[in-house]
Structure 1
Amino acid sequence: MTVSSGKAQDFGMSAARIDVLSEVLTLIRLRGELVYTAFLGEPWGLEFQPGAAHFHFVRKGSAWVVPTDGKPTRVSEGDLVLLPLGRGHVLTDVLGSPAEKIEVVAAKYFDREKLVLSHGGDSNVTQTISGFFTFEGSPLPAVMSALPPIIHIPCGDAGSPRWLEAISNFLVSEAQQPDPGSSLMISRLIDLLVIRTLRSWAATEVNRMGWLGGLGEESIGRVLNAMHADPFRRWTVGAFAKIAGMSRSIFAERFTKAVGKSPLRYLAQWRLTLAVDLLRSSNLKVTEVAYRCGYASDAAFSRAFKANFGYAPSEAKKRQAAL
C-alpha cells in the first residue's frame, strides 16, 4: 500500500471534514434571534432558562459559564463560549454565587432600544457581546448528539481569532445602529458566527463524539465523506471497508469505536435525518421518501421513522408549520 505524504493526508482529512460538516450544517438551518452587549459588575449572576441556544464573547473581564448538564468553564477577555443545545446555563462572576433567573428580552435591566443589558454592581465590570439563536425545526438527533453542552474557543497568545473580532464588531454595529435590513443582517451574522465556531471546534477538538469523532481518523473520515456524498446508495459494510482500506471486521470495529454506532446503523439514522428534511421542505409523498431512503414499504419506513423521532412521517410537515 502506498503511503501518502503528511501534507497530502492533511489535505484529504481537511476535505473530508469540510464536506461532511457542510452537509450536516446545511440541515441545521440556524436562525439568529438577537444580539446584545452586557455590562456585568460584581457581584452578579444570571441564570438563562432552557430554550434558545446562546453565545457569549468576552470583550472585557472574566466570568464562569455553567451549563445545566456540563462542567463549569472559566472564560476571560477574548474568549468565546457557545452553548448549542439550549438547555439553560448560568453566567456568573464567582462559582456558587446566587444567580437571578433571566429571560433577556423581558429583563428589567435590559434596554431594548439600545440592546444593552446592565446588571450587578459598579466594580470590576465584565463586558460581553452575547446573543441567542434557534434551529429551524426540532434539533436533529444525528447532528446534535455530536455536540457537547458547551464549546469554548479560548483567546490565544496572539489574541482572539480575526474572524471572531470581525464578526462580533459587525454584530454590535448592526445592533446599535439599525438600518433597513439590519434584522436580517444580524440573523445572518449570528449564523456565520455559530458555523465558524463549530468549524473551528471540529478542527481542533480531540474528544469528538458521534460523526465528528469519525472525522478524527483519516480512513473513517473517507467513509463518512463517501456516505454523506451519496447517502441513498445501496451501501454494504464491505464497500465501506474497501474505501477505508481495511478488512470488514477491523473496519466495523474501528468505525463503531470512533462514531459510537455501527456503519449501517449510522447510515440508517442519517437517511432518516434526510427524510425529515425531505418531508418538510418538498412535496414528496411519504411513499416516495420511503423508497428514496431504501425502505421496501411505507410500514417499515414509518416504524423506523417513529422509533427514531417519536412521531409518524405524516406529521413532519405539520410540526414544521407549527414552529
Structure 2
Amino acid sequence: MSDPLSEIVRLLRPQAVFANLISGKGNWAVRYSEFGKPSFCIMLEGGCRLAVDGHEPTTLSAGDFVLLPTTPGFTLSSFLPSPPVHLDPTKVPKGLELRYGEQTGQPDMRSLGGAFLFDCVDPGLLVSLLPGVVHVQGSLRLSQLVQMVGEETADEKPGNEFMRSRLADMLLVEAMRSTTSGSAPPGLLRGLGDERLAAALKQMHAHIGRRWSVAQLAKIAALSRSSFFERFTRTVGVAPMEYLLAWRMEIAKEFLRRGELSVSEIAEHVGYGSTSAFSAAFTRHVGQPPSHYARAA
C-alpha cells in the first residue's frame, strides 16, 4: 500500500537550514517582517509568546514545534509587554546565537529558529497542504525529536549537519501528521484524516496508472458514488478525478526533472494510453509540453 504522506515529503525533498539558536531573558519583544518562505521554531527551554499576523497570539512552551509555511510578519516576545525591536529576517546573521532582552545571565527561554528549503518541483505544494500556522503541542514523539535537535545543535559532533537534516525531515512529517484532522485546509492531509477517503486516496497513490472511475473509488471508500464524490470534493478541495490528474502531473514533473525515462515511458507510468494524450494533458495542466518542461528543469 502506498503512503501518500511519504510521497509528498519525498517530492518536497526538504533541506532544513538551522539558522540560529535564540535565547531571551527579562522583558523583550522582536518584530520580524514578512519572510515569505517556510520557517520553523523549536522551543528547547522555557516559553514565550508568538503573534503571527492574521492569527490569534499563542503561548509557546518547551517541546513545542511551530511551522509557518509562508512566514508572514510576526512578533516573538516575553510574557510581559515590551517595545519590539524590528528585524529583517533576510539580514539576521546566520549561525550565531541571538539574544533578546537582558544580555547576561541564564536565559528564561531557549529556542531554535530556522528555515526549510525545498529542492522540489513545486514549493507551493507545502503551502497547499498546511494551515497558515502549524503549532504542535504535547507530542511525546515530537518532544523527543526536539530534544535530539537541541543536542545536535549544542554538540558539534561529526555528522551533526546530516543528523539535523534527517531530524528536520521527521519534524516536518510529524507536523504534517498533526494536521490530518480538522485543522488542515481542504487537501490531501485532511483527506487522510477521513478513514474512508484515506482508503481511496491510498489506492489512488498506490496504483496511479490505473484507469480509475469514481464508482471504483467510491466502492473502496464504502460509500455511494454521489456521497463519495461530495465528501471527497468538500474534504480534499477538488473532485476525485481532478485530484488524480494533479497528482499524476506532479509525478510526471518529477520524472521529467530527473531525466531517466522517456516521455512515452512516463505517459505509461502515469496512466495514459498514448504519448500524445499525455502530452496534451500535461500541456493543459502545466502550461508547456513535457519536452519543454524537461529542458527547463
Query: Normalization by structure 2: what TM-score?
Result: 0.83
Report whether the alignment pairs 1:232 with 2:209: yes
Report whether the alignment pairs 1:248 with 2:248: no
Q: Once the 2 structures are TM-superposed, how far is the Cα of residue 130 of structure 1 from its aligned partner?
A: 2.1
Letter in 1 for 2:47: G
Match of 2:133 among 150, 156, 164: 150
8 A Cα contact 1:44 1:121, kept in partner: no
Q: Deviations over 1:193-220 (max 9, x none)?
A: 2212222332x54555212222233222
- 3-state DSSP of counterpart to 2:22: strand
Q: 1:250 to 1:76 in 2, by over 3 A?
A: closer
Structure 2 distance, partners of 1:244, 1:289, is: 28
Q: 1:297 to 1:317 in 2, by over 3 A?
A: same
What is the match of residue 161 of structure 2?
Answer: 183
Match of 2:29 among 44, 54, 58: 44
Report whether the alignment pairs 1:91 with 2:75: yes
Structure 2 distance, partners of 1:208, 1:166, is: 27
Structure 2 distance, partners of 1:298, 1:265, is: 20
8 A Cα contact 2:187 2:236, kept in partner: yes
Structure 2 distance, partners of 1:316, 1:87, is: 29
8 A Cα contact 1:223 1:240, kept in partner: yes
Structure 2 distance, partners of 1:72, 1:309, is: 37
Q: What is the Cα-based RMSD across aligned positions, in Å?
A: 3.1
- 3-state DSSP of counterpart to 1:75: strand
What residue ranges of structure 2 are gaps of 5+ in the alignment? none
Q: Once the 2 structures are TM-superposed, how far is the Cα of residue 313 of structure 1 from its aligned partner?
A: 2.9
Q: 1:297 to 1:154 in 2, by over 3 A?
A: same
8 A Cα contact 2:121 2:254, kept in partner: no
Report whether the alignment pairs 1:62 with 2:62: no
Report whether the alignment pairs 1:102 with 2:88: yes
- 3-state DSSP of counterpart to 2:229: helix
Structure 2 distance, partners of 1:96, 1:107, is: 21
Structure 2 distance, partners of 1:206, 1:251, is: 21
Report whether the alignment pairs 1:116 with 2:93: no
What is the match of residue 249 of structure 2?
Answer: 272
Match of 1:258 among 228, 235, 248: 235
8 A Cα contact 2:131 2:184, kept in partner: no
Instruction: Using the aligned pairs only, state the percent identity.
Output: 31
Q: 1:51 to 1:187 in 2, by over 3 A?
A: farther
Query: Normalization by structure 1: what TM-score?
Result: 0.77
Q: Once the 2 structures are TM-superposed, how far is the Cα of residue 119 of structure 1 from its aligned partner?
A: 3.0
Out of 174-183 and 124-133, give the one that drifted further: 124-133
Q: Once the 2 structures are TM-superposed, how far is the Cα of residue 253 of structure 1 from its aligned partner?
A: 1.7
Q: Deviations over 1:240-280 (max 9, x none)?
A: 12212233222212221221111111111111111111112
Q: How many residues align?
A: 290
What is the match of residue 7 of structure 1?
Answer: none
1:127-138 equivalent positions in 2, closer than 5 A: 127-138=110-121
- 3-state DSSP of counterpart to 2:130: coil
What is the match of residue 55 of structure 2?
Answer: 71
